[in-house]
């Protein structure tokens, strides 16, 4: 059966994350996309995603893969799928892939962006897609702090406790801050991410911006391999899965 | 009783416009702000807004005025009001004004922005705040067309039929197009606007962009003073009241 790889964008605001949950926990992206695929093809399709985004987290470049016997030509897939998806999930691109392709296991690199809105009052238009911080933030200190994450590190201090992973080492290729007006963007690219890793890094960077933690302290926090040493977990709505490379 | 002038931003997506309607028509910005003021001050406050935005239309700089006997210091008003407003309406600034001040009648100039997203597939993050057009648009032709609106004109061709106004003359100070990636922004500033005027202008500009109307034809459309000569009404979600000058 042919295998497809599809790029999805979604507004995660109204979802309990990617992964199918018991119904009481609310609708999920995976659940809604699976139903849409069923409507389109009549098949019970089992979906794999590159990143299992949490409740309230968004995606501009989520990648999914699945097998289908459908005879819809590959170039028509995005339009066809969008016709059965709700408006907060959009298929952007489809391609045929090798039968061994796996959206999660084959991902070599993922890029996330976290958006902070640094103003006294919330912005009604970006409230669903950013973390509003009313306090002044020292942007230079934050930029300096981002550099400590680059490279091969044990990120245990930035992993949610209770995670079942054994290997906490990840390679961070890019970790940088940029600005536009009152918006602060944190972009991070790595070969993989631990549970809540980006949000824990951002929570810590904001502590640096508020001058509660010094940029130099990041090295010690990493070395401590202890979640309690780092800052709090930033809220989900600022986070977006931008891109996955294979 | 002292009079206050407050600047509001709101996401109009979930509202039936500014003006209070019979309950069956859904909640309105005016209704929700009036309730919030009641909660804050205990008073039945009668509100005036600079522009009575339609259902689904947004504001970054709506101005309201009202009398209140409340003893909240003026500089604390935004924070106090925000504590009783839903998260899609935000008070940004408050000041005391002369008892004769009237947010609508005293407005000398209003600025609106209309946002178009010109891409094949919708953008999940701006879908509530833009009009997605999947067809190619001739940006140069659109820019050329915007110039014809500048100056003192009879805008009857761009006024929704059934309007009760007698005077269709308005002075347009600024009418221009700018771009960022796939977004096209139309900014228009005038001494006043007729009902649906901006949305009818945008609907016409998009016809120009699709090369169904020539930029030069705008002069004839204005001269015709006939709604049927202009293009369709653009949808509300792309429109935002940016600024009101007094």
Catalytic, A11? Answer no
Q: Do the Cβ atoms of B9 and A89 come within 8 Å?
A: no
Question: B interface toward A at CB cutoff 8 Å?
Answer: 9-11, 58, 60, 78, 82, 87-92, 121-125, 127, 129
Distance CA B105, CA B246 (A): 10
CB atoms inside a 10 Å sphere around CB B136:
11
Q: CB-CB: which of A78, A82, A124 is closest to B88?
A: A124
pLDDT on residue B59? 98
**What's the average model confidence in pLDDT over B205-215?**
98
pLDDT score for A165:
86
Q: Which residues of B touch A123 (CB under 8 A)?
A: 9, 90
Residue of A nearest to B80 (CA): A121
Across the interface, whether the CB atoms of A123 and B10 are under 8 A apart is answered no
Is it the case that residue B162 has pLDDT exceeding 90? no
DSSP state of B127: T
Of B78, B122, B127, which is closest to A121 when you measure between CB atoms? B78
Residues of chain A found within 8 Å of residue B125, distances taken between Cβ atoms: 9, 11, 58, 60, 129
- When CB atoms are compared, the residue of B89, B92, B125 closest to A129 is B125
Question: What are the structure tokens assigned to B148, written together?
Answer: 């014809």
pLDDT of res. B22: 77
Q: Does B124 sit within 8 Å of A90, measured CB to CB?
A: yes
Q: What is the mean pLDDT of residues B77-94?
A: 97
CB contact under 8 A, B92 and A127: no
Question: In chain B, what residues touch A92 (CB-CB under 8 Å)?
Answer: 121
Per-residue tokens: A136? 């002044």
From the number of C-beta atoms within 10 Å of its C-beta (0-12, 13-18, 19+), residue A46 rates as exposed
Rounded distance between C-alpha atoms, residue A181 and residue A36, angstroms: 39
**Where is average pLDDT lowest: A24-28, A39-43, B176-180, B211-215?**
A24-28
Distance from CA of A221 to the nearest CA of B (A): 35
SS3 B76: helix
pLDDT score, position A80: 97
Instruction: Return the pLDDT at B43.
Output: 95
Confidence of residue B129 (pLDDT cuts 50, 70, 90): very high
Task: State how beta strands B151-154 and B131-132 pair.
Answer: unpaired
What pLDDT, on the 0 to 100 scale, is given for residue B132?
97
pLDDT at B234 over 90: yes
Q: pLDDT tens digits, residue range B55-76? A: 999 999 999 999 999 999 999 9
Q: Percent of chain B having pLDDT more than 70? A: 99
Q: What's the pLDDT score for residue B26?
A: 87
Contacts of B123 in chain A (CB under 8 A): 9, 90
Give the pTM. 0.92
**What's chain B's average pLDDT?**
96
Catalytic residues of B: 54
pLDDT number for residue B149:
98
Say yes or no for a CB contact (<8 Å) between A122 and B90.
Answer: yes
- State residue B183's pLDDT score: 98
Give the pLDDT of chain A (246 residues) as one tens digit per residue: 889 999 999 999 999 999 988 776 789 999 999 999 999 999 999 999 999 999 999 999 999 999 999 999 999 999 999 999 999 999 999 999 999 999 999 999 999 999 999 999 999 999 999 999 999 999 999 999 999 999 999 999 999 987 788 899 999 999 999 999 999 999 999 999 999 999 999 999 999 999 999 999 999 999 999 999 999 999 999 999 999 999
Per-residue pLDDT at A226: 93
Query: Residue B164: which pLDDT band, with cuts at 50, 70 and 90?
Result: confident
Chain B residues touching A91 at Cβ < 8 A: 121
Q: Do B129 and A125 touch (CB under 8 A)?
A: yes
Q: Looking at chain A, which residue has its C-alpha nearest residue B58?
A: A125
CB contact under 8 A, B91 and A121: yes
- Contact assignment for B122 to A87 by CB distance below 8 Å: yes
Comparison of pLDDT for A242 and B24, the residue scoring more: A242
Asked if residue B31 lies in contact with residue B19, where contact means CB atoms within 8 angstroms, the answer is no
CB within 8 Å of B152: residues ≥ 6 apart: B169, B170, B171, B172
ipTM: 0.88
pLDDT value for B1 = 84
> In chain B, whose CA is at the least distance from the CA of A240?
B125
Residues of chain A whose beta carbon is less than 8 angstroms from a beta carbon of chain B are 9-11, 58, 60, 78, 82, 87-92, 121-125, 127, 129
Does the pLDDT at position B163 exceed 80?
no
Q: Are A58 and B9 inside 8 Å of each other by CB?
A: no
Half-sphere exposure of B40 (CA within 13 A, CB side): 23
**Structure confidence at residue B165 as a pLDDT band (50, 70, 90):** confident
Domains of chain A: 3-97 (3.30.70.580), 109-245 (3.30.70.660)
């Amino acid at each position: 059966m042919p295998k497809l790889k599809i790029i999805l964008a979604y507004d995660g605001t109204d979802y309990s994350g990617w992964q199918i949950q018991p119904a009481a926990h609310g609708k999920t992206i995976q659940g809604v996309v699976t139903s849409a695929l069923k409507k389109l093809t009549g098949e019970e399709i089992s979906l794999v995603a590159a990143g299992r985004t949490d409740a309230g987290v968004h995606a501009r470049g989520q990648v999914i893969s699945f097998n289908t016997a459908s005879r819809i030509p590959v170039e028509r897939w995005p339009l066809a799928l969008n016709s059965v998806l709700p408006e907060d999930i959009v298929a952007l691109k489809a391609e045929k892939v090798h039968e061994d392709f796996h959206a999660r296991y084959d991902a070599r690199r993922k890029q996330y962006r976290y958006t902070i809105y640094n103003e006294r009052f919330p912005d009604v238009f970006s409230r669903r897609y950013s973390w509003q911080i009313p306090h002044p933030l020292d942007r230079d200190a934050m930029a300096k702090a981002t550099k400590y994450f680059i490279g091969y590190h044990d990120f245990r201090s930035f992993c949610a406790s209770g995670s079942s992973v054994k290997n906490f080492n990840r390679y961070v290729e890019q970790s940088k801050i940029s600005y536009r007006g009152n918006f602060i963007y944190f972009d991070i690219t790595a070969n993989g991410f631990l549970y809540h890793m980006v949000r824990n890094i951002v929570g810590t960077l904001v502590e640096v911006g508020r001058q509660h933690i010094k940029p130099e302290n990041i090295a010690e926090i990493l070395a401590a391999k202890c979640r309690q040493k780092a800052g709090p977990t930033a809220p989900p709505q600022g986070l977006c899965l931008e891109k996955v490379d294979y």
